[in-house]
Copies of this chain bind each other. A is one copy, B any other.
Amino acid sequence: MNIRTIDWKNNSVRIIDQTKLPQKLVYIDIGRLEGLCRAIKILQVRGAPALGAAAALGVYLGIRNYPGSDWPGFSRKLKAVAKYIAGSRPTARNLFWGIERACAVALKNNKQPISKIKRIILAEGKKIMREDASSCRKIGFYGAKLLKHNSRVLTICNAGILATIDYGTALGVIYSACAQGKKIKVFSCETRPLLQGSRLSAWELNRQGVDITMIADNTAAHLMAEGKVDLVIAGADRIAANGDSANKIGTSNLAILCKYHKIPFYIAAPISTFDFSIKSGKGIKIEMRNSGEVTRILLKKEIAPPGANVLNPAFDVTANHLISAIITDKGIIRPPYIRNISKIFKGNKCV
């Protein structure tokens, strides 16, 4: 893959500004924590795994100019920074996981000089990026087994290169199958309101030479009824201990359509997406975003009457019984999920 969604360059977090796609591929360097959190809020960088790396690097941006050399003061600053980043977006588990990883290495090394702790935090952010690149390839490796030659895959939102460091989760599975020589046809739901499916997934799949057809989100049921979809793969932003999975609004819709049409529905996500503190999807906090995303197209063209009421949840939760399997970097987890998810976290193989 010749593009990298997030990187550490020029002492800054370098990201692709995803609000400019598909028209322009623009990289921006962000040196301040406030700028990074703004980029996360307005979705210049998005995608749960990418947010994990962004959050860890954000911790470094937040503490690198801490002037003191005392652990208690540094620790307070670290907590404030962590809280600030955590307030940017509530649903993606990986964002919190990235913050926790950065804070954990600091705490573990709290006897070291502050300057060294700072370097250790940066190193952890870089490590998360390396791990993400590797874990996406593992997800791709395991998931590709589920795709046959000539499989027709429907996906939603963007769980690709642009949602990770450089490979993708749901789309990583497709890239991996293609790399094995399988011919794969992809349908991408455009994914209103913010059109990540048409703007981002169609763009990167096309760039990678994958056969991609865009559809309005409304077309999914018709496509399935016509027998044109063999399987659905979506990413995830947070997975509860029982397998209930939060992902882009519209994902649970597809899972229900799959159930009705007897089509397999898969979630692809690294294990950093699992949240054991949450027993089921009911405990997952769903981010509500502003109405302008719906009343206007990409916050520009008005399409609704003035003052229209809008309900704009960014995510929905797909119930575990609708999920055929969860493709992770540790292997494929199948039902019963409560048992099999807990197994994988105890180090057992699951494939």
Contact residues of A with B, CB < 8 Å?
22-23, 187, 189-193, 195, 198-199, 202-203, 206, 211-223, 225, 248-250, 252-253, 256-257, 259-260, 286, 294-295, 297-298, 300-313, 316-317
List the 4 closest pairs (A to B, CB-CB), nearest first: A218-B250, A221-B253, A222-B316, A22-B305
**Residue among A211, A302, A303, A311 having the largest count of chain B Cβ atoms under 10 Å:** A303
Main secondary structure on A side of the interface with B: mixed
Copies per assembly = 2
Cβ of B249 and Cβ of A257 under 8 Å apart?
Answer: no
Nearest B-chain residue to A302, judged by Cβ: B23
Give the distance in Å from the alpha carbon of A112 to the alpha carbon of B71 in the complex. Answer: 102
Q: Which residues of B contact A199 (CB under 8 A)?
A: 303-304
Known A-B contacts A198-B295, A225-B252, A311-B187; the reply to A304 vs B214 at CB < 8 A is: yes
Contact assessment for B223 and A250 in the assembled complex, using a CB-CB cutoff below 8 Å: no
CA distance A302 to B198 in the complex (A): 10
With contact pairs A252-B225, A259-B260 given, residues A219 and B304 touching in the complex (Cβ less than 8 Å): no
User: Of all chain B residues, which has the CB nearest A260?
Assistant: B256
Cα A257 to Cα B255 in complex, Å, equals 10
Q: A212-B308, A295-B198 are in contact. Are A192 and B217 (CB under 8 A)?
A: yes
B298 close to A301 (CB less than 8 A): yes
- In Å, the complex CA distance between A247 and B183 comes to 34
Residues of B within 8 A of A286 (CB): 222
Given contacts A212-B309, A304-B198, contact A218 B203 (CB under 8 A): no
